[in-house]
Structure 1
Amino acid sequence: MDIYEYAMQMEKDGETFYRELAGKVDNKGLKKILTMLANAEVIHYNVFLKMKMNQGIHLTDTPILSNAKNIFTKMKEEKDTFGINVSYVGLYKKAQETEKKSQIFYLEKADEVNIPSQREIFLKIAEEENKHYFILENIINFVSRPQTWLENAEWYHLEEY
């Protein structure tokens, strides 16, 4: 399996995982965030598909952090803890581990490719995976202790990532 096929499979697996998880959660805010993460994986998949086909690619920054922050803000304002299920923390941690592994993989591949534009794409997607990791960290904290999390609002540091 070549580098692009492997990356595409990782992104497809990520999309499937997030969509399945979004289907399980009852909290509307978490469902939206998980769906956003799934949609981001589709974008990454399409980028790698274009790279494989030697098509021109321009990857822009996604607003996923600001969108997640807006959802978290709304959840805080509405004190929305309905449907929070702490039993899913293990699944969120699994997703977080996968995002970290993906980030490391893309950073390694960025060092291996010889074409500057491809290197830039791998670095940009590695950065996106780091954002996903951070969003998942906030989900884990929220699910583990929703009342405290809403009061402390640690996620205000989202824009730092």
Structure 2
Amino acid sequence: MNVLEFAIKMELDGEKYYNDQAKITTDSSLKTVFLILAKDENSHAKILQKRSNKLSYELENNETLSETKNLFKGIKDFKSDIKQLPNQLDLYRVALEKEKESITLYEKLLLESEDDESKEFFSYLLKQEKEHYEILDELVLQLNKSNDWVESAEFGITSED
């Protein structure tokens, strides 16, 4: 398996992962975030496939980061998902790791690029994956806030009780 085939597989695995997350979440905003991420990963796989087959492709800018930031602003209470799906936070952390792997791969490929077209191509994918990482990191941060609030010593049982 060459490096582009590996990257295509990685992107398709990411698409499946995000689609699976969209299926199990009960929060419509989170579902939307995961569907957007899945769509992006599918788009990445398609342009990687075109590049692998030496076909023309277009590197289109998207608004994924701003779209998801707007969705996060609208989410008031993350606690309901955590109570229903206690391991969900771990799943989001796994997604963060997957995005880190993509970032590492595209950084390596960018450094190894010898022509401007390759540099532009891998810079594009690197930027996209960094945005995905930022989105997931914000999600984990928001979920941790609700965990921290629930587990806060102010609200917990102390030895004085």
Q: Give CA deviations for 1:71-102 in whole Å, capped at 9, x if unaligned.
A: 11222xxx354742242111101110110111
Matched, 1:74 2:74: yes
Query: Structure 2 length normalisation: TM-score?
Result: 0.83
Shift in Å, 1:129? 0.6
- 3-state secondary structure, aligned to 1:16: helix
* Alpha-carbon distance in 1 for matches of 2:147, 2:37: 24
Q: Give CA deviations for 1:59-79 in whole Å, capped at 9, x if unaligned.
A: 12210011101211222xxx3
Matched, 1:84 2:81: yes
User: Do the aligned partners of 1:25 and 1:31 also contact (CA within 8 Å) in 2?
Assistant: yes
1:138-157 mapped onto 2 (5 Å cutoff): 138-146=138-146
* Greater radius of gyration (CA): 2
* Alpha-carbon distance in 2 for matches of 1:117, 1:148: 46
Match of residue 61 from structure 2 = 61
Match of residue 130 from structure 1 = 130
* Alpha-carbon distance in 2 for matches of 1:128, 1:109: 15
How many residues are aligned here? 146
Query: Structure 1 length normalisation: TM-score?
Result: 0.83
Q: Which amino acid aligns with 2:59?
A: L
Q: Give CA deviations for 1:27-48 in whole Å, capped at 9, x if unaligned.
A: 1111100111010000100110
* Alpha-carbon distance in 2 for matches of 1:31, 1:82: 16
State the superposition RMSD in angstroms: 1.9
Matched, 1:9 2:6: no
Q: Which amino acid aligns with 2:99?
A: E
Shift in Å, 1:119? 1.8
1:15-54 mapped onto 2 (5 Å cutoff): 15-54=15-54
Match of residue 153 from structure 1 = none
Segments of structure 2 that go 5 or more residues without pairing to the other structure are 150-161
Shift in Å, 1:104? 1.1
Q: Give CA deviations for 1:1-26 in whole Å, capped at 9, x if unaligned.
A: 11211110000000011111111111
Inter-CA distance 65–36: structure 2 relative to 1 (3 Å threshold): same
Segments of structure 1 that go 5 or more residues without pairing to the other structure are 150-161
- 3-state secondary structure, aligned to 2:41: helix
Match of residue 99 from structure 2 = 99
* Alpha-carbon distance in 1 for matches of 2:28, 2:60: 27
After the TM superposition, list the runs of 4 or more consecutive aligned residues in structure 1 that deviate by more than 3 angstroms: 80-83, 146-149
